[in-house]
Amino acid sequence: MELKPAEVLISKEAIAERVSAIAKEITSRYDGGSVLMVGILRGAVIFLADLVREIGPSVEVSIEFMKASSYGASTQSSGKVAITQQPTMEIEGRNVIIVEDIVDTGLTLKRLREYFADHGAASVAVCVLLDKQDRRVVDVPVEYTGFVIPDEFVVGYGMDYDEKMRNLPAIFTVRPVDE
């Protein structure tokens, strides 16, 4: 099916305001220390880029990327998540913040938290732009949340449909092109 943006769910301005508030929280939490911000490809790239630029100079920030994909019945608790691109930086002893676009079932973030714990991170936190709370299948702690949204498919601000629409500056719902 071909889809196009329908309505603005979260405006550019609202995103910017919330990103800045989260960055302030991160700055005060890690003040005088360092963090490794790990963006989950590809959807979190724009969020990560905006977020790190709002974190104050009192925090030493490094950036890393990794990729995960779910296979099998991803909406079931049995859904499996594979790490398809591993980080190359040293993780041991680092304060990791996983930066993700959306937490939906929670399966991806649960797997990612385990990955960093298994690799000796000093601490692990999760920062998501959007939380589809109603869809959660597994419990996973999320330390920083941008917005809680209803169970609707969204695109823009890094998030895609079929690798398209990531460039939209706001977050949109979608509808079929012929409607």
Interacting span for ligand 5GP (CB under 6 A) from 27-35, 46-54, 82-90, 95-103: 95-103
95 binds ligand 5GP (CB under 6 A): no
- By C-alpha distance, which of 176, 167, 159 is closest to 2? 176
**Spatial distance between the Cα atoms of 86 and 66, rounded to a whole number of angstroms:** 5
8 A C-beta contact, residue 122 and residue 93: yes
Question: What's the closest the beta carbon of residue 82 comes to ligand 5GP, in angstroms?
Answer: 12
Give me the 25-64 binding string for ligand 5GP, x by CB under 6 A, dash otherwise.
------------------x---------------------
Selected catalytic residue, list 31, 104, 118, 134: 104
**Is 104 among the residues known to form the active site?**
yes
173 binds ligand 5GP (CB under 6 A): no
Peptide bond into 42 cis (omega under 30): yes
Cβ neighbours for 28, distance < 8 A, ≥ 6 positions apart: none
Interacting span for ligand 5GP (CB under 6 A) from 13-21, 25-33, 83-91, 96-104: 96-104
**Spatial distance between the Cα atoms of 39 and 121, rounded to a whole number of angstroms:** 16
Per-position DSSP letters for 129-140, written without gaps between them:
EEE-GGG--S--
71 binds ligand 5GP (CB under 6 A): no
Interacting span for ligand 5GP (CB under 6 A) from 1-9, 19-27, 88-96, 106-114: 106-114
Q: Is 143 exposed, middle or buried (0-12, 13-18, 19+ CB in 10 A)?
A: middle
- Kindly list the residues in this chain that would bind ligand 5GP in the complex (CB under 6 A): 43, 70, 100-108, 153-155, 159-160
So which residues are the catalytic ones?
Answer: 104
